[in-house]
Amino acid sequence: MLDEFDLILDIAIVLGAALAGGLVARFLKQSAIIGYLLAGIVIGPHALGLIEESDEIRVLATIGVVLLLFTLGIQFSLRELIRLKRVAIGGGIFQLLVTTGLGVGVAVLLGWSLREAVTFGFLIAISSTMVVIGMLTHRGELGSIHGRVMIGILLMQDIAAAFMMFVLPALEGSGDNLATMLGLAALKGLLFLALIMLLGAWVVPRFIRLVAGRGSRELFVLSGAALCFGGAFGAYQFGLSAALGAFAVGLVISESDYAHQVLGDIIPLRDIFSALFFVSVGMLVDLPFMAENMTTVIVVVLTIVLGKFVICSATAGIFGYTGKTIPLVGAGMIQVGEFSFVLAELGLTEGVISQHIYSLILASAVISIALTPLVYSLTANLSARLIQARWLRPLVAVKAPQSVDEVAQISNHVVICGHGRVGGSIAQMLRQLEIPHLVIDLDPAIISSLRDQGISCIYGDAGNREVLSRAGLKDAALLLIAMPDATSARLALDHALRINPRLDVVARVHSDFELDFLRGRGASELVQPEFEASIELTRHVLCRLGWPEDKVQGFMSDLRRICPL
Protein backbone atom coordinates (compact mmCIF):
# COMPACT_ATOMS: atom_id res chain seq x y z
CA MET A 1 0.00 0.00 0.00
CA LEU A 2 2.89 2.30 0.80
CA ASP A 3 4.41 1.77 -2.66
CA GLU A 4 1.08 2.51 -4.34
CA PHE A 5 0.71 5.70 -2.30
CA ASP A 6 4.28 6.73 -3.20
CA LEU A 7 3.51 6.30 -6.91
CA ILE A 8 0.32 8.38 -6.60
CA LEU A 9 2.28 11.07 -4.76
CA ASP A 10 5.02 11.07 -7.42
CA ILE A 11 2.45 11.40 -10.22
CA ALA A 12 0.73 14.24 -8.37
CA ILE A 13 4.05 16.08 -7.91
CA VAL A 14 5.05 15.55 -11.56
CA LEU A 15 1.69 16.70 -12.96
CA GLY A 16 1.55 19.65 -10.57
CA ALA A 17 5.07 20.70 -11.56
CA ALA A 18 4.19 20.25 -15.24
CA LEU A 19 1.12 22.46 -14.80
CA ALA A 20 3.09 25.16 -12.99
CA GLY A 21 5.95 25.05 -15.50
CA GLY A 22 3.58 25.09 -18.47
CA LEU A 23 1.64 28.06 -17.08
CA VAL A 24 4.82 30.04 -16.48
CA ALA A 25 6.11 29.21 -19.96
CA ARG A 26 2.86 30.27 -21.64
CA PHE A 27 2.75 33.44 -19.53
CA LEU A 28 6.22 34.24 -20.89
CA LYS A 29 4.92 33.35 -24.40
CA GLN A 30 7.17 30.31 -24.66
CA SER A 31 6.43 26.70 -25.58
CA ALA A 32 4.89 24.65 -22.78
CA ILE A 33 7.58 22.03 -23.43
CA ILE A 34 10.19 24.42 -22.04
CA GLY A 35 8.11 24.72 -18.88
CA TYR A 36 7.84 20.93 -18.56
CA LEU A 37 11.59 20.46 -18.96
CA LEU A 38 12.45 23.18 -16.44
CA ALA A 39 9.86 21.79 -14.01
CA GLY A 40 11.55 18.41 -14.24
CA ILE A 41 14.95 19.96 -13.54
CA VAL A 42 13.60 21.76 -10.47
CA ILE A 43 11.85 18.75 -8.86
CA GLY A 44 14.45 16.21 -9.98
CA PRO A 45 17.12 14.47 -7.89
CA HIS A 46 19.81 16.97 -8.98
CA ALA A 47 17.92 20.05 -7.67
CA LEU A 48 15.17 20.06 -5.01
CA GLY A 49 15.03 16.28 -4.92
CA LEU A 50 11.23 16.12 -4.56
CA ILE A 51 11.33 12.99 -6.71
CA GLU A 52 14.19 10.55 -6.93
CA GLU A 53 14.67 8.52 -10.09
CA SER A 54 11.55 6.35 -10.35
CA ASP A 55 11.11 3.31 -12.58
CA GLU A 56 7.33 3.81 -12.47
CA ILE A 57 7.63 7.39 -13.73
CA ARG A 58 9.92 6.21 -16.54
CA VAL A 59 7.33 3.59 -17.56
CA LEU A 60 4.62 6.26 -17.66
CA ALA A 61 6.95 8.48 -19.68
CA THR A 62 7.45 5.62 -22.16
CA ILE A 63 3.67 5.43 -22.54
CA GLY A 64 3.79 9.14 -23.37
CA VAL A 65 6.34 8.48 -26.12
CA VAL A 66 4.21 5.68 -27.59
CA LEU A 67 1.11 7.90 -27.63
CA LEU A 68 3.11 10.81 -29.04
CA LEU A 69 4.34 8.78 -32.00
CA PHE A 70 0.93 7.18 -32.50
CA THR A 71 -0.75 10.58 -32.89
CA LEU A 72 2.13 11.78 -35.06
CA GLY A 73 1.50 8.84 -37.38
CA ILE A 74 -2.20 9.75 -37.61
CA GLN A 75 -1.35 13.41 -38.28
CA PHE A 76 1.40 12.59 -40.76
CA SER A 77 0.29 13.91 -44.13
CA LEU A 78 1.58 12.16 -47.22
CA ARG A 79 -0.37 14.70 -49.29
CA GLU A 80 1.48 17.59 -47.61
CA LEU A 81 4.78 15.79 -48.18
CA ILE A 82 3.93 15.37 -51.86
CA ARG A 83 2.82 19.01 -52.18
CA LEU A 84 6.13 20.20 -50.74
CA LYS A 85 8.07 17.31 -52.25
CA ARG A 86 10.98 19.35 -53.59
CA VAL A 87 12.01 21.09 -50.38
CA ALA A 88 10.54 18.43 -48.06
CA ILE A 89 12.15 15.36 -49.60
CA GLY A 90 15.21 16.85 -51.28
CA GLY A 91 15.81 19.54 -48.67
CA GLY A 92 14.96 17.23 -45.78
CA ILE A 93 17.40 14.55 -46.91
CA PHE A 94 20.10 17.16 -47.56
CA GLN A 95 19.63 18.72 -44.12
CA LEU A 96 19.63 15.34 -42.36
CA LEU A 97 22.81 14.13 -44.08
CA VAL A 98 24.79 17.35 -43.60
CA THR A 99 23.69 17.84 -39.98
CA THR A 100 24.46 14.22 -39.12
CA GLY A 101 27.88 14.63 -40.74
CA LEU A 102 28.51 17.79 -38.70
CA GLY A 103 27.57 15.97 -35.50
CA VAL A 104 29.85 13.04 -36.31
CA GLY A 105 32.75 15.36 -37.09
CA VAL A 106 32.44 17.39 -33.90
CA ALA A 107 31.99 14.26 -31.77
CA VAL A 108 35.12 12.69 -33.24
CA LEU A 109 37.07 15.88 -32.48
CA LEU A 110 35.81 15.61 -28.88
CA GLY A 111 37.31 12.12 -28.68
CA TRP A 112 34.10 10.10 -28.74
CA SER A 113 33.87 6.63 -30.26
CA LEU A 114 32.48 6.24 -33.78
CA ARG A 115 29.17 4.77 -32.60
CA GLU A 116 28.74 7.60 -30.09
CA ALA A 117 29.59 10.09 -32.82
CA VAL A 118 27.02 8.60 -35.22
CA THR A 119 24.38 8.60 -32.48
CA PHE A 120 25.13 12.24 -31.69
CA GLY A 121 24.79 13.07 -35.40
CA PHE A 122 21.41 11.35 -35.49
CA LEU A 123 20.19 13.21 -32.42
CA ILE A 124 21.08 16.74 -33.52
CA ALA A 125 19.74 16.21 -37.06
CA ILE A 126 16.15 16.13 -35.77
CA SER A 127 14.26 19.28 -34.78
CA SER A 128 11.16 19.53 -32.59
CA THR A 129 7.86 19.35 -34.45
CA MET A 130 5.97 20.37 -31.30
CA VAL A 131 8.18 23.40 -30.58
CA VAL A 132 8.22 24.65 -34.19
CA ILE A 133 4.50 24.24 -34.86
CA GLY A 134 3.60 25.70 -31.46
CA MET A 135 5.83 28.72 -32.07
CA LEU A 136 4.52 29.30 -35.61
CA THR A 137 0.91 28.95 -34.46
CA HIS A 138 1.44 31.43 -31.62
CA ARG A 139 2.98 33.96 -34.04
CA GLY A 140 0.31 33.38 -36.72
CA GLU A 141 2.93 32.19 -39.23
CA LEU A 142 1.85 28.58 -39.76
CA GLY A 143 0.70 29.36 -43.31
CA SER A 144 3.71 31.54 -44.19
CA ILE A 145 6.33 30.49 -46.74
CA HIS A 146 8.98 29.81 -44.11
CA GLY A 147 6.39 27.99 -42.01
CA ARG A 148 5.49 25.66 -44.87
CA VAL A 149 9.17 25.01 -45.63
CA MET A 150 9.88 24.10 -42.01
CA ILE A 151 6.86 21.79 -41.85
CA GLY A 152 7.97 20.03 -45.03
CA ILE A 153 11.46 19.40 -43.65
CA LEU A 154 10.01 18.31 -40.29
CA LEU A 155 7.84 15.72 -42.05
CA MET A 156 10.98 14.24 -43.61
CA GLN A 157 12.69 14.27 -40.22
CA ASP A 158 9.77 12.34 -38.72
CA ILE A 159 10.31 9.58 -41.27
CA ALA A 160 14.04 9.58 -40.53
CA ALA A 161 13.40 9.40 -36.77
CA ALA A 162 11.32 6.25 -37.27
CA PHE A 163 14.15 4.74 -39.36
CA MET A 164 16.76 5.68 -36.75
CA MET A 165 14.79 3.88 -34.06
CA PHE A 166 15.52 0.47 -35.54
CA VAL A 167 18.99 1.33 -36.86
CA LEU A 168 20.34 2.74 -33.58
CA PRO A 169 20.46 -0.54 -31.61
CA ALA A 170 22.55 -2.07 -34.41
CA LEU A 171 25.32 0.45 -33.69
CA GLU A 172 26.20 -1.59 -30.60
CA GLY A 173 28.00 -3.91 -32.98
CA SER A 174 31.44 -3.10 -34.31
CA GLY A 175 33.70 -3.86 -37.22
CA ASP A 176 32.43 -6.45 -39.69
CA ASN A 177 29.40 -7.23 -37.54
CA LEU A 178 28.09 -3.66 -37.83
CA ALA A 179 27.11 -3.89 -41.50
CA THR A 180 25.43 -7.26 -40.90
CA MET A 181 23.52 -5.97 -37.88
CA LEU A 182 22.43 -2.86 -39.75
CA GLY A 183 21.18 -5.04 -42.58
CA LEU A 184 19.29 -7.31 -40.19
CA ALA A 185 17.80 -4.32 -38.36
CA ALA A 186 16.64 -2.81 -41.65
CA LEU A 187 15.22 -6.17 -42.77
CA LYS A 188 13.29 -6.63 -39.52
CA GLY A 189 11.99 -3.10 -39.80
CA LEU A 190 10.82 -3.64 -43.38
CA LEU A 191 9.17 -6.97 -42.45
CA PHE A 192 7.34 -5.34 -39.56
CA LEU A 193 6.19 -2.40 -41.69
CA ALA A 194 5.04 -4.81 -44.42
CA LEU A 195 3.01 -6.74 -41.82
CA ILE A 196 1.50 -3.51 -40.48
CA MET A 197 0.56 -2.35 -43.98
CA LEU A 198 -0.99 -5.74 -44.74
CA LEU A 199 -3.06 -5.59 -41.55
CA GLY A 200 -3.83 -1.97 -42.35
CA ALA A 201 -5.25 -2.87 -45.73
CA TRP A 202 -7.42 -5.78 -44.58
CA VAL A 203 -7.93 -5.85 -40.81
CA VAL A 204 -7.67 -2.38 -39.24
CA PRO A 205 -10.30 -0.58 -41.39
CA ARG A 206 -12.84 -3.37 -40.85
CA PHE A 207 -12.07 -3.48 -37.12
CA ILE A 208 -12.55 0.28 -36.66
CA ARG A 209 -15.72 0.23 -38.78
CA LEU A 210 -17.10 -2.63 -36.68
CA VAL A 211 -16.43 -0.81 -33.39
CA ALA A 212 -17.75 2.51 -34.71
CA GLY A 213 -20.93 0.72 -35.79
CA ARG A 214 -21.70 -0.19 -32.18
CA GLY A 215 -22.31 3.50 -31.45
CA SER A 216 -20.28 3.45 -28.21
CA ARG A 217 -17.83 6.28 -27.59
CA GLU A 218 -16.08 4.27 -24.85
CA LEU A 219 -15.49 1.27 -27.12
CA PHE A 220 -14.19 3.53 -29.89
CA VAL A 221 -11.65 5.13 -27.54
CA LEU A 222 -10.59 1.69 -26.33
CA SER A 223 -10.17 0.47 -29.90
CA GLY A 224 -7.78 3.31 -30.70
CA ALA A 225 -5.74 2.68 -27.56
CA ALA A 226 -5.70 -1.08 -28.24
CA LEU A 227 -4.38 -0.55 -31.77
CA CYS A 228 -1.75 1.89 -30.50
CA PHE A 229 -0.34 -0.38 -27.80
CA GLY A 230 -0.85 -3.51 -29.88
CA GLY A 231 1.39 -2.04 -32.56
CA ALA A 232 3.92 -0.99 -29.92
CA PHE A 233 3.99 -4.53 -28.47
CA GLY A 234 4.31 -6.06 -31.94
CA ALA A 235 7.32 -3.91 -32.75
CA TYR A 236 8.91 -4.84 -29.42
CA GLN A 237 8.48 -8.54 -30.27
CA PHE A 238 10.31 -7.89 -33.54
CA GLY A 239 13.18 -6.43 -31.54
CA LEU A 240 12.29 -2.90 -32.65
CA SER A 241 11.29 0.23 -30.77
CA ALA A 242 7.77 0.16 -29.32
CA ALA A 243 7.40 3.80 -30.39
CA LEU A 244 8.13 2.79 -34.01
CA GLY A 245 5.27 0.29 -33.85
CA ALA A 246 2.86 2.93 -32.57
CA PHE A 247 3.96 5.31 -35.35
CA ALA A 248 3.36 2.64 -38.02
CA VAL A 249 -0.15 1.87 -36.72
CA GLY A 250 -0.89 5.60 -36.66
CA LEU A 251 0.12 5.83 -40.32
CA VAL A 252 -2.31 3.04 -41.18
CA ILE A 253 -5.18 4.70 -39.32
CA SER A 254 -4.41 8.07 -40.97
CA GLU A 255 -5.75 6.70 -44.27
CA SER A 256 -9.12 5.71 -42.79
CA ASP A 257 -12.31 7.77 -42.52
CA TYR A 258 -12.13 7.53 -38.73
CA ALA A 259 -8.65 9.05 -38.32
CA HIS A 260 -9.86 12.43 -37.00
CA GLN A 261 -12.08 10.87 -34.35
CA VAL A 262 -9.33 8.51 -33.17
CA LEU A 263 -6.95 11.45 -32.98
CA GLY A 264 -9.42 13.58 -31.05
CA ASP A 265 -9.99 10.81 -28.51
CA ILE A 266 -6.30 10.01 -28.00
CA ILE A 267 -4.89 13.57 -27.85
CA PRO A 268 -5.99 14.26 -24.22
CA LEU A 269 -4.22 11.08 -23.10
CA ARG A 270 -1.20 11.97 -25.21
CA ASP A 271 -0.94 15.45 -23.73
CA ILE A 272 -0.99 14.13 -20.15
CA PHE A 273 1.58 11.40 -20.74
CA SER A 274 3.71 13.67 -22.94
CA ALA A 275 3.92 16.13 -20.06
CA LEU A 276 5.11 13.23 -17.88
CA PHE A 277 7.71 12.38 -20.52
CA PHE A 278 9.17 15.87 -20.78
CA VAL A 279 9.18 16.34 -17.01
CA SER A 280 10.97 13.00 -16.65
CA VAL A 281 13.56 14.16 -19.20
CA GLY A 282 14.09 17.34 -17.21
CA MET A 283 14.56 15.25 -14.06
CA LEU A 284 17.49 13.50 -15.75
CA VAL A 285 19.36 16.75 -16.44
CA ASP A 286 22.33 16.72 -14.07
CA LEU A 287 23.05 20.30 -12.94
CA PRO A 288 26.34 19.42 -11.16
CA PHE A 289 27.41 17.59 -14.34
CA MET A 290 26.65 20.71 -16.40
CA ALA A 291 28.73 22.85 -14.02
CA GLU A 292 31.68 20.43 -14.17
CA ASN A 293 31.54 20.09 -17.96
CA MET A 294 30.50 23.62 -18.87
CA THR A 295 33.09 23.98 -21.67
CA THR A 296 31.99 20.79 -23.40
CA VAL A 297 28.31 21.71 -22.97
CA ILE A 298 28.93 25.12 -24.57
CA VAL A 299 30.77 23.50 -27.50
CA VAL A 300 27.93 21.04 -28.08
CA VAL A 301 25.22 23.74 -27.76
CA LEU A 302 27.07 25.99 -30.22
CA THR A 303 27.44 23.05 -32.61
CA ILE A 304 23.71 22.41 -32.45
CA VAL A 305 22.48 26.02 -32.60
CA LEU A 306 24.97 27.56 -35.04
CA GLY A 307 25.39 24.43 -37.13
CA LYS A 308 21.68 23.85 -37.61
CA PHE A 309 21.05 27.54 -38.24
CA VAL A 310 23.57 27.58 -41.09
CA ILE A 311 22.58 24.19 -42.53
CA CYS A 312 18.80 24.74 -42.42
CA SER A 313 19.18 28.27 -43.82
CA ALA A 314 21.38 26.92 -46.61
CA THR A 315 18.80 24.21 -47.33
CA ALA A 316 16.10 26.82 -47.92
CA GLY A 317 18.45 28.84 -50.14
CA ILE A 318 19.62 25.85 -52.19
CA PHE A 319 16.05 24.85 -52.94
CA GLY A 320 15.08 28.22 -54.38
CA TYR A 321 13.90 30.36 -51.46
CA THR A 322 15.19 33.86 -50.88
CA GLY A 323 14.84 36.88 -48.60
CA LYS A 324 13.82 36.46 -44.98
CA THR A 325 12.61 32.89 -45.60
CA ILE A 326 16.23 31.69 -45.48
CA PRO A 327 17.21 32.96 -41.98
CA LEU A 328 13.77 32.28 -40.49
CA VAL A 329 13.88 28.61 -41.54
CA GLY A 330 17.33 28.36 -39.95
CA ALA A 331 16.31 30.13 -36.74
CA GLY A 332 13.16 28.04 -36.31
CA MET A 333 14.96 24.70 -36.45
CA ILE A 334 18.01 25.21 -34.24
CA GLN A 335 16.71 22.99 -31.46
CA VAL A 336 16.95 19.27 -30.79
CA GLY A 337 13.64 17.44 -31.20
CA GLU A 338 11.49 15.53 -28.74
CA PHE A 339 12.27 12.30 -30.58
CA SER A 340 15.96 12.92 -29.99
CA PHE A 341 15.23 12.31 -26.31
CA VAL A 342 13.64 9.00 -27.28
CA LEU A 343 16.66 8.07 -29.37
CA ALA A 344 19.05 9.09 -26.59
CA GLU A 345 17.16 6.92 -24.11
CA LEU A 346 17.23 4.04 -26.60
CA GLY A 347 20.96 4.53 -27.18
CA LEU A 348 21.68 4.46 -23.45
CA THR A 349 19.53 1.36 -22.91
CA GLU A 350 21.19 -0.49 -25.79
CA GLY A 351 24.67 0.46 -24.60
CA VAL A 352 25.42 2.54 -27.70
CA ILE A 353 26.28 5.66 -25.68
CA SER A 354 27.66 6.13 -22.19
CA GLN A 355 25.94 7.85 -19.27
CA HIS A 356 28.39 10.75 -19.69
CA ILE A 357 27.39 11.30 -23.34
CA TYR A 358 23.71 10.86 -22.43
CA SER A 359 23.88 13.56 -19.75
CA LEU A 360 25.73 15.87 -22.12
CA ILE A 361 23.15 15.40 -24.87
CA LEU A 362 20.24 16.00 -22.48
CA ALA A 363 21.72 19.21 -21.12
CA SER A 364 22.52 20.55 -24.58
CA ALA A 365 19.11 19.60 -25.98
CA VAL A 366 17.22 21.38 -23.21
CA ILE A 367 19.31 24.52 -23.71
CA SER A 368 18.76 24.48 -27.49
CA ILE A 369 14.97 24.26 -27.03
CA ALA A 370 15.01 27.11 -24.51
CA LEU A 371 17.02 29.31 -26.92
CA THR A 372 14.75 28.75 -29.94
CA PRO A 373 12.02 31.38 -29.30
CA LEU A 374 14.62 34.04 -28.45
CA VAL A 375 16.78 33.33 -31.51
CA TYR A 376 13.74 33.18 -33.79
CA SER A 377 12.34 36.48 -32.50
CA LEU A 378 15.70 38.23 -32.87
CA THR A 379 16.12 36.84 -36.39
CA ALA A 380 12.63 37.97 -37.43
CA ASN A 381 13.25 41.51 -36.12
CA LEU A 382 16.69 41.71 -37.70
CA SER A 383 15.39 40.42 -41.03
CA ALA A 384 12.69 43.10 -41.09
CA ARG A 385 15.29 45.80 -40.45
CA LEU A 386 17.68 44.50 -43.09
CA ILE A 387 14.93 44.34 -45.71
CA GLN A 388 14.46 48.11 -45.27
CA ALA A 389 18.19 48.88 -45.38
CA ARG A 390 19.05 50.80 -48.55
CA TRP A 391 22.56 49.35 -48.84
CA LEU A 392 21.11 45.81 -49.01
CA ARG A 393 18.62 46.47 -51.80
CA PRO A 394 20.99 45.49 -54.63
CA LEU A 395 21.62 42.19 -52.82
CA VAL A 396 17.97 41.30 -52.24
CA ALA A 397 16.49 42.64 -55.46
CA VAL A 398 14.71 39.88 -57.39
CA LYS A 399 14.07 39.83 -61.10
CA ALA A 400 10.51 39.54 -62.25
CA PRO A 401 9.72 36.35 -64.16
CA GLN A 402 8.64 38.42 -67.13
CA SER A 403 10.37 41.38 -68.75
CA VAL A 404 10.02 44.87 -67.32
CA ASP A 405 8.32 45.96 -70.54
CA GLU A 406 5.66 43.28 -70.11
CA VAL A 407 4.93 44.39 -66.54
CA ALA A 408 4.90 48.02 -67.60
CA GLN A 409 2.10 47.26 -70.08
CA ILE A 410 -0.25 46.37 -67.22
CA SER A 411 -2.36 49.24 -65.94
CA ASN A 412 -5.44 49.73 -63.80
CA HIS A 413 -4.68 46.30 -62.34
CA VAL A 414 -4.90 44.65 -58.91
CA VAL A 415 -1.60 43.71 -57.27
CA ILE A 416 -2.04 40.68 -54.99
CA CYS A 417 0.64 40.20 -52.33
CA GLY A 418 0.57 36.55 -51.33
CA HIS A 419 -0.94 33.66 -53.31
CA GLY A 420 -1.95 31.42 -50.39
CA ARG A 421 -5.47 30.20 -49.67
CA VAL A 422 -6.91 33.73 -49.49
CA GLY A 423 -4.86 35.43 -52.19
CA GLY A 424 -5.12 32.43 -54.49
CA SER A 425 -8.92 32.34 -54.24
CA ILE A 426 -9.17 36.07 -54.98
CA ALA A 427 -6.83 35.72 -57.97
CA GLN A 428 -8.97 32.90 -59.36
CA MET A 429 -12.13 35.03 -59.10
CA LEU A 430 -10.40 37.98 -60.76
CA ARG A 431 -9.38 35.70 -63.64
CA GLN A 432 -12.99 34.58 -64.07
CA LEU A 433 -14.09 38.22 -64.14
CA GLU A 434 -11.25 39.05 -66.56
CA ILE A 435 -9.93 41.76 -64.24
CA PRO A 436 -6.20 42.37 -64.83
CA HIS A 437 -4.04 41.44 -61.87
CA LEU A 438 -0.47 40.64 -60.91
CA VAL A 439 0.69 38.27 -58.15
CA ILE A 440 3.71 38.66 -55.88
CA ASP A 441 4.77 35.57 -53.94
CA LEU A 442 7.90 34.16 -52.35
CA ASP A 443 7.16 30.48 -53.04
CA PRO A 444 9.05 29.29 -56.16
CA ALA A 445 6.56 26.46 -56.74
CA ILE A 446 3.61 28.87 -56.81
CA ILE A 447 5.40 31.29 -59.16
CA SER A 448 6.38 28.43 -61.48
CA SER A 449 2.76 27.25 -61.62
CA LEU A 450 1.44 30.77 -62.30
CA ARG A 451 4.06 31.32 -64.96
CA ASP A 452 3.02 28.08 -66.72
CA GLN A 453 -0.58 29.39 -66.76
CA GLY A 454 0.54 32.66 -68.31
CA ILE A 455 -0.44 34.71 -65.27
CA SER A 456 1.49 37.90 -64.55
CA CYS A 457 3.60 37.29 -61.46
CA ILE A 458 6.73 38.42 -59.66
CA TYR A 459 8.89 36.20 -57.50
CA GLY A 460 9.95 37.89 -54.28
CA ASP A 461 8.95 39.20 -50.87
CA ALA A 462 6.21 41.83 -51.14
CA GLY A 463 7.75 43.47 -48.08
CA ASN A 464 10.78 44.35 -50.24
CA ARG A 465 10.69 47.77 -51.92
CA GLU A 466 12.64 46.58 -54.98
CA VAL A 467 10.15 43.80 -55.61
CA LEU A 468 7.16 46.14 -55.21
CA SER A 469 8.70 48.68 -57.54
CA ARG A 470 8.38 46.17 -60.39
CA ALA A 471 4.64 45.69 -59.89
CA GLY A 472 3.53 48.90 -61.64
CA LEU A 473 2.00 50.39 -58.50
CA LYS A 474 1.86 53.90 -59.96
CA ASP A 475 -0.64 52.64 -62.55
CA ALA A 476 -2.38 50.07 -60.31
CA ALA A 477 -6.04 50.32 -59.31
CA LEU A 478 -5.59 48.56 -55.98
CA LEU A 479 -3.11 46.72 -53.80
CA LEU A 480 -4.37 43.63 -51.94
CA ILE A 481 -2.21 42.45 -49.02
CA ALA A 482 -3.15 38.82 -48.33
CA MET A 483 0.03 37.60 -46.63
CA PRO A 484 -0.30 35.87 -43.24
CA ASP A 485 3.01 37.36 -42.06
CA ALA A 486 2.27 40.59 -40.17
CA THR A 487 5.80 41.99 -40.58
CA SER A 488 5.77 41.59 -44.37
CA ALA A 489 2.29 43.11 -44.52
CA ARG A 490 3.44 46.23 -42.67
CA LEU A 491 6.51 46.61 -44.87
CA ALA A 492 4.46 46.09 -48.05
CA LEU A 493 2.01 48.81 -47.01
CA ASP A 494 4.76 51.30 -46.13
CA HIS A 495 6.73 50.75 -49.35
CA ALA A 496 3.64 50.73 -51.57
CA LEU A 497 2.37 54.08 -50.25
CA ARG A 498 5.82 55.62 -50.71
CA ILE A 499 5.75 54.52 -54.35
CA ASN A 500 2.13 55.70 -54.85
CA PRO A 501 0.67 57.75 -51.95
CA ARG A 502 -2.80 57.70 -53.55
CA LEU A 503 -2.90 53.93 -53.93
CA ASP A 504 -6.01 52.14 -52.63
CA VAL A 505 -4.85 49.38 -50.23
CA VAL A 506 -6.95 46.52 -48.86
CA ALA A 507 -5.34 44.19 -46.30
CA ARG A 508 -6.22 41.17 -44.18
CA VAL A 509 -5.48 41.32 -40.45
CA HIS A 510 -5.65 38.79 -37.62
CA SER A 511 -5.48 40.92 -34.47
CA ASP A 512 -6.79 44.21 -33.12
CA PHE A 513 -3.24 45.48 -32.70
CA GLU A 514 -2.42 44.75 -36.33
CA LEU A 515 -5.70 46.35 -37.37
CA ASP A 516 -4.93 49.61 -35.53
CA PHE A 517 -1.35 49.61 -36.79
CA LEU A 518 -2.20 49.20 -40.50
CA ARG A 519 -5.06 51.69 -40.28
CA GLY A 520 -2.67 54.23 -38.80
CA ARG A 521 -0.24 53.55 -41.64
CA GLY A 522 -2.80 54.42 -44.30
CA ALA A 523 -4.60 51.22 -45.32
CA SER A 524 -7.91 52.02 -47.04
CA GLU A 525 -9.81 48.90 -45.99
CA LEU A 526 -9.04 46.16 -43.47
CA VAL A 527 -10.63 42.72 -43.38
CA GLN A 528 -10.49 40.40 -40.38
CA PRO A 529 -11.35 36.86 -41.61
CA GLU A 530 -12.56 35.68 -38.21
CA PHE A 531 -14.96 38.62 -37.87
CA GLU A 532 -16.27 38.19 -41.42
CA ALA A 533 -16.91 34.51 -40.70
CA SER A 534 -18.86 35.41 -37.54
CA ILE A 535 -20.96 37.93 -39.51
CA GLU A 536 -21.85 35.36 -42.16
CA LEU A 537 -22.61 32.64 -39.62
CA THR A 538 -24.84 35.06 -37.67
CA ARG A 539 -26.73 35.90 -40.86
CA HIS A 540 -27.38 32.20 -41.55
CA VAL A 541 -28.53 31.62 -37.95
CA LEU A 542 -30.99 34.54 -38.03
CA CYS A 543 -32.39 33.52 -41.41
CA ARG A 544 -32.96 29.96 -40.20
CA LEU A 545 -34.69 31.31 -37.10
CA GLY A 546 -37.24 32.95 -39.36
CA TRP A 547 -36.12 36.58 -39.23
CA PRO A 548 -37.23 38.68 -42.23
CA GLU A 549 -34.46 39.36 -44.72
CA ASP A 550 -34.70 43.15 -44.31
CA LYS A 551 -34.43 42.85 -40.51
CA VAL A 552 -31.38 40.59 -40.85
CA GLN A 553 -29.70 43.04 -43.21
CA GLY A 554 -30.45 45.93 -40.85
CA PHE A 555 -28.93 44.06 -37.92
CA MET A 556 -25.86 43.20 -40.01
CA SER A 557 -25.46 46.85 -40.97
CA ASP A 558 -25.71 47.95 -37.33
CA LEU A 559 -23.18 45.30 -36.33
CA ARG A 560 -20.69 46.46 -38.95
CA ARG A 561 -21.22 50.08 -37.93
CA ILE A 562 -20.28 49.44 -34.29
CA CYS A 563 -17.45 47.08 -35.22
CA PRO A 564 -13.93 48.59 -35.04
CA LEU A 565 -13.37 47.54 -38.63
- Domain ranges for the chain: 53-386, 400-527
Distances from the Cα of 146 to the Cα of 30, 125, 383, angstroms:
20, 19, 13
Over the stretch 115-134, which tens digit does the pLDDT of each residue have?
888 889 999 999 987 778 77
Partners of 526 in beta bridges: 507
Partners of 458 in beta bridges: 440
The confidence score (pLDDT) of residue 142 equals: 67
The confidence score (pLDDT) of residue 495 equals: 87
The confidence score (pLDDT) of residue 264 equals: 76
The whole-angstrom separation of Cα 303 and Cα 117 is 13
Please tell me if the domain spanning 53-386 has the same topology as the one spanning 400-527.
Answer: no
| HSE-CB for 335 with a 13 A CA cutoff | 28
Strands, E assignment, 327-468: 414-417, 437-441, 457-459
Edge-first strand order for the sheet with 437-441 is: 457-459, 437-441, 414-417, 478-481, 505-508, 525-527
Q: Are 258 and 212 a contacting pair, CB within 8 Å?
A: yes
The whole-angstrom separation of Cα 17 and Cα 14 is 5
pTM: 0.67
Over the stretch 456-507, which tens digit does the pLDDT of each residue have?
888 887 887 778 888 888 888 899 998 877 777 888 888 898 889 889 999 9
The confidence score (pLDDT) of residue 19 equals: 92
- CA angle at residue 221 from 218 to 227, to 5 degrees? 135
The confidence score (pLDDT) of residue 403 equals: 37
List, in sequence order, the alpha helices (H) in 145-203. Answer: 145-167, 176-202
Distances from the Cα of 529 to the Cα of 147, 421, 490, angstroms:
20, 12, 18
- CA angle at residue 40 from 46 to 304, to 5 degrees? 90
The confidence score (pLDDT) of residue 395 equals: 44
Q: Which CATH class is domain 400-527?
A: alpha beta
The pLDDT tens digits along the chain (565 residues) read 446 677 788 888 888 999 999 899 888 877 788 888 889 888 888 788 788 766 666 677 778 778 877 877 777 666 666 666 777 888 889 999 999 999 999 989 988 888 888 889 999 999 987 778 777 766 767 667 788 888 788 878 877 877 787 677 767 655 555 566 666 766 776 777 778 777 777 787 788 888 877 777 788 888 888 888 888 888 777 766 677 778 778 878 877 777 777 877 787 877 887 788 788 878 878 888 888 888 889 989 999 999 999 999 999 888 878 778 889 999 999 988 877 887 888 888 878 888 888 888 888 888 888 888 889 988 888 876 765 554 444 444 444 444 333 454 677 899 999 888 788 889 989 988 888 999 998 877 788 888 888 888 888 878 877 788 888 888 888 999 988 777 778 888 888 988 898 899 999 887 777 777 888 888 888 888 778 888 888 888 888 888 888 888 888 877 777 665 5
H or E element in which residue 525 lies: strand 525-527
* Residue from 409, 421, 414 nearest 440 by CA: 414
The confidence score (pLDDT) of residue 173 equals: 59
| CATH of the structural domain 53-386, one choice from 1.10.3080.10, 1.20.1630.10, 1.20.1530.20, 1.10.150.20 | 1.20.1530.20
Distances from the Cα of 47 to the Cα of 21, 274, 400, 520, angstroms:
15, 22, 58, 51
